[in-house]
Amino acid sequence: MTDVAGHKETDEITGTETTGHEWDGIKELNTPLPRWWLWTFYACIAWAVVYWIAMPAWPLVSSHTKGVLGYASRAVVDQRLAAARAAQSVFVARINAASLGEIRQDPELLAFAIAGGRSAFAVNCSQCHGRGAAGSPGFANLNDDAWLWGGTLDDIHQTITYGIRSDHEETRVGDMPAFVRDEILTRDQVGDVAEYVLSLSGRSADPAAAGRGAAIFAEQCVACHQEGGVGNREVGAPNLSDSIWLYGGDKATIVETVSNGRGGVMPAWTGRLDPTTIKQLAVYVHSLGGGE
Amino acid sequence: MDQPATSELGAGAPTAAHGVARVDVRAVNKKEHRSAYQKRLKIFPKKARGGFRRLKWGIMALTLSAYYLAPWLRWDRGPSAPDQAILLDIPARRFYFFFIEIWPQEIYYLTGLLILAAFGLFLATSLFGRVWCGYTCPQTVWTDLFIAVERMVEGDRGARMRLDKAPWSATKIGKRVVKHGIWLIIAMMTGGAWVFYFADAPSLLGELVTLQAPPIAYIAIGVLTFTTYILGGLAREQVCIYMCPWPRIQAAMVDVDSMIVTYRGYRGEPRGPHRKGEPWEGRGDCIDCNNCVAVCPTGIDIRDGSQLECINCGLCVDACNDVMDRIHRPRGLIAYDTFANVERRASGKSARVKLLRARPLIYAGSMVAVAAVMVFGLSTRATLDVNVLRDRNPLFVTLSDGSIRNGYTVKIINKQHERRTYRLTVEGLPGHRVRVVGRDGAGAPMLPVPADRLASYRVLVSAPVDVLKGQSTPIVFLLTDTAGGTRVSYDAVFRGPGG
């Protein structure tokens, strides 16, 4: 602080200049910044200027300054991905060369396939089948031991590769007709069939209706679902005598299924995923607990 | 606030007594001399001679050899583990200390070691004051070493002060270059030894010499070279006085019966120069020669009493004893003594050493307790550990026959130096079936785990729905070592639809 005559005011005790600010008789000292602090500050400024020149720094209208060192974080990611792929290449080659059964017998390959399958499942399959592959009505639970199209490694592999009712010519195809909509059966007949289907897993509430339904079942349903409703994997016809229901096992849902049919679609993944990934997915799904 | 012209620089120094020159020295860290706005005043500690100085040399040799040699000790642990006695293997996440081997989840052993060290420090302080600071603290050891180098190159106190004041000349530059060069070599060796604790010492030395070592090794050496040079060579006593929290805490450990470096004022006062032939009656033994101030590495006057800056190194005791011998007065005007004894002697009573007091006994007792807990923990340390994580998604799976299945991840830690196979069984679930993914076969699953490793298995347990107790049924995973029969269990639950 300088007064009118240009004299600086100093504090008597410390000999330091004051800022001239005063509160209730207490004056603020104008203590200079510590030298080390100041030099660190200047060094930071110098560092910043060097950084602007060396590294990508300033945004431009449609781009940014690139920096003379040529660093780009995207290139680093690419490098790391390439390094990761190179590190995996030995295993990928072994997965490609091995059969599904061989992968399952080799603990190292099994671990690699399950890890790769898990991440591919999360990206491509979990949208329908759920993060834990527990499914939801219409989308199969892959953890259990009921398989519409078979639960061996090869069955699972084929399902993933070509899909179910997909647009691939090798696709698995099965057709549950819409018995009421297509006027094959009446609503009463469908009610009787539903009672019979319930009785297959020991749950019928109306033995008389179930008896009537048995006759209709023998005529209309046995071709696919087989005697006793045990199902047929050739055409994807589910086992009706077990505890597992893709769309639901209560009477209303069974009536709905028989009346209007079902035709869920699983896309073909060949061409969308590479063969290695599909193999890993098959091993992973098989390992979830229901694999045969 | 300049230092007064020191009479050592010129002739005509007054004598404190016959044959003893008075050192014109100012205790730069004396409270009245040190204003808050003052820059550091250099301290030029004079060389002391005597028992405590020799003790300090001995302890310096011992601690430095321990520091430099410890990583080279070998300890055989078999083929699956490193043979270095002390090794912090950070990539493998293991800490080896002779027979102790610590995994990351056992880091509480390290906590135990630190608590032991802390109580050891408290105990030593309550008995003998800050002897840790004066003899064994790395800051003291390296500062002492750096001052010894300085003294070797530039000479003792007077010569160093003259050199410091002298204008720059070839001699001065030469001496300074030699001094800082040796300091840097010591600092580099300090950092160089440090990295050997983190990798196999012989192979790392080879890599360092052939420039094949990992960059972090060179970075660590660089950082420690820098800090050793700065803290030991340049900052010195400022670390103790301004940076270290211990001087502020130690007052809580010291009491009137702690042996600390003490000026026995009742014997020394009134102080003043003594001429040959004068009687000693009616005056104190202190001839005010200031030798105790001149040798002090932290720049204080011990005659002012116990102070924060005093590191209890005993060099002033040596300096004073030397003078007392020369003037034929009894030794021990400055000595390790207690407040209580100084008062007792002053009032003519006999001194009494009280080592067995409540405070040291509590500290010693705490050490024994912590050590006992650690010994118990280490001797009963499990070499087999199991962890079971139940699947959260899905919580359970209904199978086609109506039974319920739960999935678990079973992690087995084998801390032995050989491959072991464990038998897995599940209790608390009548009629259950156990399957391990990737390990088909009849009977209870046998799970191999490599030496010193953790293995993870996916285990599927299924059970009829009617044996379940509601939504959550408690079950126990039991793991039995097929060699030796060690068993560990893990309490888990089995989830079902309930109701």
Per the prediction, chain A carries an average pLDDT of: 91
Least confident window among B77-86, B203-212, B456-465: B77-86
Token pair 């650690």 in the structure block, residue = B374
Q: In terms of Cα–Cα distance, which of B263, B386, B247, B277 is closest to B332? A: B263
Residues of chain B found within 8 Å of residue A11, distances taken between Cβ atoms: none
Residues A100 and A163 in one domain: yes
pLDDT higher than 50, residue B8: no
Mean pLDDT of chain B: 87
Residues of B in contact with A106 (CB under 8 A): none
**Whether residue A112 sits in one domain with residue A134:** yes
Q: In whole angstroms, what is the distance from residue B235 CA to residue B450 CA?
A: 51
B393 touches chain A (CB under 8 A): yes
Shared domain for A94 and A141, answered yes or no, is yes
Res. B11 pLDDT band, cuts 50 70 90? very low
Is A99 contained in some domain?
yes
Mean per-residue pLDDT for B252-265?
88
CA distance B439 to B435: 8
* CB contacts, 8 Å: B391 with chain A: 132
Residue-wise DSSP of A3-68: -TT-PBPB-TTT--BEEEEEETTEEEE-PPPPHHHHHHHHHHHHHHHHHHHHS---B-SSSB---T
CA trace torsion A205, A207, A209, A214 (10° rounding): 120
Predicted confidence at residue A2, as pLDDT, reads 53
In a domain, A220, yes or no: yes
The answer to whether residues A253 and A275 belong to one domain is no
Is the residue at A66 inside a domain? Answer: no
Helix (H, G, I), strand (E, B) or coil at B489: strand
User: Where are chain B's structural domains?
Assistant: 1-381, 384-495
Contact A199, A210 (CB under 8 A): yes
Q: What is the domain-level CATH number for residue A147?
A: 1.10.760.10
Q: Is residue A41 part of a domain?
A: no
DSSP string for residues in chain A: -B-TT-PBPB-TTT--BEEEEEETTEEEE-PPPPHHHHHHHHHHHHHHHHHHHHS---B-SSSB---TT---HHHHHHHHHHHHHHHHHHHHHHHHHS-HHHHHH-HHHHHHHHHHHHHHHHHHTHHHH-TTS--BTTB--SSSS--SS--SHHHHHHHHHH-BS-SSTT-B---B--TTTTTSS-HHHHHHHHHHHHHHTT--S-HHHHHHHHHHHHHHTHHHH-GGG--BTTTTBPPSSSS--SS--SHHHHHHHHHH-B---B---BTTB-HHHHHHHHHHHHHTTT--
User: Is B357's pLDDT higher than 60?
Assistant: yes
Residue in chain B nearest A31 by alpha carbon:
B37
- Mark whether A206 and A242 lie in a shared domain: yes
- A267 pLDDT more than 90: yes
Claim to verify: residue A192 and residue A166 sit in the same structural domain: no
> How far, in Å, CA of B405 to CA of B395, rounded?
9
Average pLDDT over residues A97-113: 91
Q: How far apart are CA B210 and CA B202, in angstroms?
A: 13
**Whether residues A191 and A256 fall in one domain:** yes
Assign 3-class secondary structure to B53-120.
Answer: HHHHHHHHHHHHHHHHHHHHCECCCCCCCCCECEEEECCCCEEEECCEEECHHHCHHHHHHHHHHHHH
pLDDT at B1: 37
Give the residue from B416, B396, B417, B399 showing the smallest Cα distance to B407: B396
Span A163-192, pLDDT tens digits? 999 999 999 999 999 999 999 999 999 999
Residue A9 within a domain: no
Task: Report residue A105's pLDDT band, with 50, 70 and 90 as the boundaries.
Answer: confident
The CATH architecture one would assign to domain B384-495 is Sandwich (2.60)
Which single residue is written with the structure tokens 């660590």? Answer: B220
Q: Is residue A274 part of a domain?
A: yes
CB contact (8 A) between residue A132 and residue B400: no
Instruction: Find the domain containing A233 and state its range.
Output: 187-260
Q: Are residues A147 and A214 in the same domain?
A: no
d(CA B263, CA B300): 12
User: What's residue B62's pLDDT?
Assistant: 95
Give the model's pLDDT for residue A4.
56
Whether A68 maps to a domain, the answer reads no
Cross-chain residue pair A143–B405, CB shorter than 8 Å: yes
Q: Could you give phi then psi for residue A109, rounded to 5 degrees?
A: -65, -35
Q: Residue B3: which pLDDT band, with cuts at 50, 70 and 90?
A: very low
Residues A243 and A282 in one domain: no
For residue B444, what pLDDT is reported?
A: 78
The shortest C-alpha distance from B452 to chain A (Å) reads 18
| pTM > 0.90 | no
* Interface contact flag, B401 A242, Cβ < 8 Å: yes
For A140-158, what is the mean pLDDT? Answer: 93
B460–A289 CB contact, under 8 Å: yes
CB under 8 Å to B372, separation ≥6 — which residues? none
Q: CB-based contact (8 Å) between B402 and chain A?
A: yes
Q: Do B438 and A107 touch (CB under 8 A)?
A: yes
Residues on chain A touching B402 (C-beta within 8 angstroms)? 242-243
Cβ of residue A6 closer than 8 Å to a chain B Cβ = no
Q: Do the Cβ atoms of B438 and A110 come within 8 Å?
A: yes
Of all residues in chain B, what percent carry a pLDDT higher than 70? 96
Is residue A191 one of the residues assigned to a domain? yes
Interatomic CA distance for residues B73 and B79, integer angstroms: 17
CB-CB contact of A110 with B365 (8 Å)? no
Residues in chain B, total: 499
Asked whether the beta carbons of A9 and A18 are under 8 A apart, the reply is: yes
| Number of domains composing chain A | 2
